[in-house]
């Protein structure tokens, strides 16, 4: 099943300009494969080395984390329960290749373990089959505040 923008918006609270997943190609309880196309007109390319634009490594990691959040949305209706995934730990981030305008970034995340409301994952971003970033990370679920007047 391929997820587009509408399904991604239902799965996670991120929205443009801070949404770094365009579509989900496959997902189950333990893994996800998603994509992000890096349009050359994205704002961060204008200022992150204007004469040699590169996607900031932290944003490549954020793409992986967002794919992980979509994976977690498969774990039982986080959005409906008033919880959102928040990053709790980043480990072993490794940057192997530059990510540039026009690249299609493939994002793969695996759920390795769950302890209570902590989810231990590892992910990677690749471009044309070449590893760009790998990272291990942990997400926890945080309750969202009730809207004012509720």
**Sequence-distant (≥ 6) Cβ neighbours of residue 113 within 8 angstroms:** 119, 120
Q: Does the active-site annotation cover 48? A: yes
Q: Tell me which of 9, 14, 31, 48 is the catalytic residue.
A: 48
Integer CA distances (angstroms), 66 to 21, 50, 60, 87, 148, in order: 7, 26, 10, 10, 27
Q: Which residues are catalytic?
A: 48
């Amino acid at each position: 099943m391929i997820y587009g923008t509408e399904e991604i918006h239902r799965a996670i609270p991120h929205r443009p300009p801070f949404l770094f997943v365009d579509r989900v190609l496959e997902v189950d309880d333990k893994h996800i494969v998603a994509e992000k196309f890096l349009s050359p007109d994205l704002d961060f390319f204008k200022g992150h080395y204007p004469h040699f634009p590169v996607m900031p490594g932290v944003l490549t990691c954020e793409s992986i984390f967002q794919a992980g959040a979509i994976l977690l949305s498969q774990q039982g209706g986080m959005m409906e329960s008033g919880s959102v995934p928040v990053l709790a730990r980043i480990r072993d981030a490794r940057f192997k290749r530059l990510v540039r305008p026009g690249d299609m970034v493939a994002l793969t995340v695996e759920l390795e373990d769950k302890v209570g409301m902590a989810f231990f994952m590892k992910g990677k971003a690749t471009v044309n089959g070449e590893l760009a970033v790998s990272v291990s990370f942990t997400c926890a679920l945080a309750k969202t505040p009730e809207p004012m007047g509720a």
